Amino acid sequence: MDKFKLAPSLLSADFSNLGNSALEAEKGGADLLHVDVMAGHFVPNISFGSAVMKSLNDITALNYDVHLMIENPGDYIEDFVCEKTEYITVHQEACLHAHRILQKIRSLGVKAGISLNPATPLCMLEEILTDVDLVLIMSVNPGFGGQKFIPSSLDKIKRLAEVRRERDLDFLIEVDGGVTLENASDIARAGADILVAGSAVFGASDVAARTRAFKELK
């Protein structure tokens, strides 16, 4: 198993002390901060916007992995671009013109990602895999933290990794939803390069220690 990167999801952090939560994850060796953006339409929940994300700019050294779970994501790309934004990922299901939006993200100097909900087949990405830096496989139905990993997601990750090998592409595979210490190694062995963990990290009494425990997995 190649070593995976860990992107703790701020959706599960302590919103009353977000800066400290980010610092604890950084201290534990996190690679990115996953920023889940929800507006109550594409998914049935509301999280936070770009101002909250940018409030961490001078607090943590970690870059942002922005996940736009919103309708019309192309209208909001610029809001989430700052010097710490490494990835912006949009949902295939929310994009009428995905290729155009991915090009827009890249034109702003940010790596572009596309995400699939659990019920959306991989074939929906066939024509745009050459235009992405990252594919995010949702292993729960998006909208709320703390859900259980959908077991069939492992096969989906394996099939995507095989497509990547067959087509000699270099996009990263990210997995979000129900990631725990118990299943993280299996997910990485299936082909995932970046694991998003929310409650499994920020729900711990010692966030830094829990982050280290993820990073020490074999």
186 is catalytic: no
Q: How open is the CA angle 1-217-164, to the nearest 5 degrees?
A: 30
Evaluate if pTM is beyond 0.75. yes
Question: pLDDT tens digits for 67-76?
Answer: 998 778 888 8
Question: pLDDT tens digits for 24-77?
Answer: 999 999 999 999 887 545 555 656 778 889 999 999 999 999 999 877 888 889
Rounded-to-integer distance, Cα 167 and Cα 154, Å: 20
Q: Would you say 125 and 25 are in contact if contact means Cβ atoms under 8 Å apart?
A: no
Q: Which of 176, 186, 193, 206 is catalytic?
A: 176
Q: Which of 14, 31, 36, 65 is catalytic?
A: 36
Query: Under DSSP, is residue 206 helix (H, G, I), strand (E, B) or coil?
Result: coil
Q: Would you say 33 and 62 are in contact if contact means Cβ atoms under 8 Å apart?
A: yes
Question: pLDDT tens digits for 152-163?
Answer: 999 999 999 999
Question: Which residue type occupies 197?
Answer: A
36 is catalytic: yes
